[in-house]
Structure 1
């Protein structure tokens, strides 16, 4: 089936609460390619886990330093530091302490798809899954059209296999297949239909919105001397202000 039809069906997956998605009573390692993906894709999940006394952990793969490559006031090292601070603040909005955040600091835009850096990241993820007794790892969808997202997905899949846990995926930029106004993508054929849930996050949606807003460098023109620097548009942000989050069940 076409990716647009796959996602349209995903928007009608069964609504479930936390126990419906994670019936084992465990927690989740959320793997985010960049600082902000964790809040966009799984902010509600993380808030619900915290409230249930099952705090998750967030592992951010890249340093996020490439979002404003033409800024003279904010060179890459400064951008990376800001994005680390924003990620910490975002987790705070979700009720999580800085001890729940791990940042691998791999190069934004060049996260490895294989080799020693890839293998080290897989080992780090698998070790965290075992240490936390996590029930699942949640990562950006395989079909998000960004190489860092695909690399992160491959890392998380390998870690899920190594640790023997479930693999969940959350779409970020893959929504462009369905919502072409935020940037059309070439047609893509997928196996279908989707499997998974729409996690009910209505009770914690304000906290998710606060977490997303904490990523000020990505949601405003905080870095003002690079007019072509990255910024999440209102149309994109609206996709992540819905009272549910799509979590796809993927065979690891």
Structure 2
């Protein structure tokens, strides 16, 4: 969404449309107006900067009328916004079947700088000189979490689900990026120190909702009530 009447076609915000259990929910995230936030360009200005770039113009001229832009994608990378604009070849002209993507462009939402590449990674590298840090795969993240217990002397028992009188969540964290690991490791260490070592016994693990792994330790109190103290770590 761009500011109404803005000559620079600056970014005012973006709509977030949810799916799944939140299907139909729509929220508007507005861009802050303090400082230089209003210098963020909108999609119209991004396309304009892309089309007027000399290298892009030269390549598009070679295609004649046999090309089209794909969906304009806005991503935040390293706390900075970038527009990605794919270019597709349509040998029969506009409206015909797309055969390939010869290159993709990237536009810095603040500086309006433009770069191109054969794919989004190469375009990003050309513009910034940096390659985004490779994130650990899902299986690696699950193994890291599991081994954090093993390395401390506990081998978790994988189960489908355990039913107790009380299930008490005592900690949670997310492990999506490599930078999340410090908090995850700290959460596990605290859980082991405050619950596993206190109540002893076995550590159980189970997957919940396909995106969260739980680790718990059971405890039976003096009145015979069975409680499961556990932590949840979102890995997807």
Larger radius of gyration: 2
Query: Does the pair score TM above 0.5?
Result: no
**Into which bin does the TM-score normalised by the smaller protein fall?**
under 0.3
TM-score by length of 2: 0.21
More strand by share: 2
TM-score by length of 1: 0.20
Higher relative contact order (CA 8 A, sep 6+): 1
More helix by share: 1
